Amino acid sequence: MTLRLDAEALYVDLLSGVRSLLKDDTALVGIWSGGAWLAERLQRDLKLEGQTGVSLGVISSALHRDDFSSRGMAGGADHTRLPFEVEGKHLLLIDDVLYTGRTIRAVVNELFDFGRPASVTLAVLVDRGGRELPIHAAYSAARIALPAEQKLSLARAEDGRFSFDIKVRGEEKT
């Protein structure tokens, strides 16, 4: 049986769930790269719905990863852009896939390099389980179980539509 996930349908669910997590003075922070794509589209769609004043930032986990020695600058630290003051701000972290929790831990460490936010809340498109750290999303559009050897990745087409790729680890293109 092949797992089929409709990324566009899950995005609509994420959009609805994110609305309930927004507070006054909230900033969306997308985790590079899939989370950044989602946050960008969420901000655009929320503004279309009349929600204004939502700041948008992008953050990379590259510099704070516990596997930096084996991954190097995969994901690139130069992708972090936080065009607002982090200190005292409510941050809504957006990511595509939550798995072990290590990326979220690295991102939170990176955020605190910029200041101390009032709160940090996590919303993800897919929670695939397999946590190695006590990290939990306040909202996930889907919860699935995948074998550890499979990797779930969000893809974005030229027209901005989302889809998923599921590959066996080690067989991805580098």
> How confident is the model at residue 53, as a pLDDT?
61
* Pairing of the two strands 90-98 and 55-59: unpaired
What's the pLDDT band for 63 if we cut at 50, 70, 90? confident
Distances (CA, A) of 27 to 8, 58, 124, 127, 168: 23, 10, 15, 22, 35
Task: Give the tens place of pLDDT for each residue, 85-129.
Answer: 999 999 999 999 999 999 999 999 999 999 999 999 999 999 999
Share of the chain above pLDDT 90, in %: 75
Dist. CA 79–CA 67, nearest whole Å: 18
Residue 2 placed within a domain: no
Structural domain of 54? 7-148
pLDDT over threshold 50, residue 74: yes
Cβ–Cβ under 8 Å, residues 75 and 89: no
**Residue 50 in this model has a pLDDT that exceeds 60:** no
* Whether the model pTM is above 0.85: yes
In a domain, 60, yes or no: yes
User: How many domains, the chain?
Assistant: 1
The 10s digit of each residue's pLDDT in 126-154 is: 999 999 999 999 999 999 999 999 999 99
Specify the CATH number for the domain of residue 128: 3.40.50.2020
For residue 164, is it within any domain? no
Peptide bond preceding 33 in cis form (omega within 30 of 0):
yes
160 found inside a domain? no
